[in-house]
Amino acid sequence: MMFTDLLWEVESEILSRVPATFLKKFRFTCKRWYNLTKEPSFIKKNSGKAATQMLLKKKKSVLPFNIDFHGIHNRYDQFIEFTGKLESPKDSEDVKVSEISHCEGLILCKTKDKRLVVWNPCTGQTRWIQSSTMHHSCFLGYENNNKSCNSYKILRCSYDNNDQGATVAKFEIYEFNSDSWRVLDVTHEWFACSEVSVSLKGDTYWLDSDEVDGLINHIVRFDFTRERFERLPLPFPSHGYNEELAVLSVVREEKLAVLRQLWFDMVNDLKMKIWLTNTQTDEAKGLSWSEFLVVDFNKLGIHGMTRASSFLVDEETKKVLCCDTDMDDDYRTTVYVVGEDIHKEVYREIPTGSWSWQCPLLISYVPSLVEIPTKAVTLVSGGNEISQIIN
């Protein structure tokens, strides 16, 4: 190895440890750095070096914000600080987001006019995707193929009635490399894709219930590699849709978390319980859970259940950030922090005079330099085919 090669290897190693939020500026320093930051192997090595950011999706907007869990001790000392608003870099107007799905630093948005756009907020890269059919929900994931570059896909769910009048789910897959949709040959009458989902290591997870008794007693995972649905166990027995609230979340892109609240005993059991997985999520049969936190609202002096439609876990401080819509207060979005000895509201939306049926959503987002796969089109000029890469 030549000395210059060794220096470049050391230089590459140093750059791989720089968070993506800084690298996006430094990569224009020289052509060599620019090319390096576009290499899939470098991007994969650099993944996760940036600090986790938090996003609040409410109504048609997605708002980045900061909060210091270590600084929260009483009702006066800490509130969330919004740092801007996610906007489309290629449009003059904001993207009015009706749904959002994120995976490995990329965000999939369904706009209010039913268009789809995949976006990397860190680099500003976007890709609009044609979707000719009306869809219920779309989810972003990737195929785990052990390659340096992930094969990204979108799962699209739509519903129709069959000849007998029953509602039937239709699932389709969009592949970025081929820029095309295809029907997925799977049928699951027992499962309907909820808009509320989480993504972990390329796969999408939902909570679901049995069609007959309505018990929320399992998790559904869509494996983007094998393109199949699977059932995974929950850490508690279900009491049914009308007697409990259960929500899924992800911790540091490593674990699943589930939050549960019971409604049938709101006088004696005003508690919120959170469990975390302690096994690999791809080990369906051996999936196990550990109880992480129990919040007793009676002990905290909170008279009445505080709902959570979405939540994020901070393992180090053993606190949980929750959000919901306050239906008793003009449907305003509220965000609060809970722990064994704390319950503190850190945000309450300013009244706008309008409300939305969609619940607010908290997202843990890690900035990344990951490239959105481009699509190739073939142009014909003078009888010759010319391939061109476009976004």
Q: Which amino acid is at 69?
A: F
Residue-wise pLDDT for 277-293, tens only, equals 986 655 555 578 899 99
Strands 97-103 and 271-277: unpaired
Residue-wise pLDDT for 190-231, tens only, equals 555 666 789 998 899 988 765 555 566 788 889 999 998 888
Q: Give the chain's length.
A: 391
Say what the pLDDT of residue 54 is: 82
CA distance 220 to 197: 10
Which residues, including other chains, have CB under 8 Å from residue 345's CB and lie 6 or more apart? 334, 335, 336
Q: Give the pair of three-digit tokens for residue 30.
A: 């020289």
Say what the pLDDT of residue 72 is: 66
Residue-wise pLDDT for 127-147, tens only, equals 888 776 566 788 999 987 766
Contact by Cβ (8 Å): 106, 90? no
Q: Which amino acid is at 179?
A: D
Say what the pLDDT of residue 274 is: 93
Say what the pLDDT of residue 363 is: 87
Say which CATH class 51-390 falls into. Answer: mainly beta
Say what the pLDDT of residue 256 is: 92
Q: Give the pair of three-digit tokens for residue 355.
A: 């409300």
Q: Where are the domains of the chain?
A: 1-49, 51-390
Say what the pLDDT of residue 89 is: 43
CA distance 76 to 380: 66
Residue-wise pLDDT for 261-282, tens only, equals 876 555 556 788 999 998 665 5
Using 70 as the pLDDT threshold, list the residues of the chain that sit under it.
1-6, 72-78, 83-96, 132-135, 146-149, 161-167, 187-195, 209-216, 238-244, 263-269, 279-286, 303-305, 352-357, 375-391
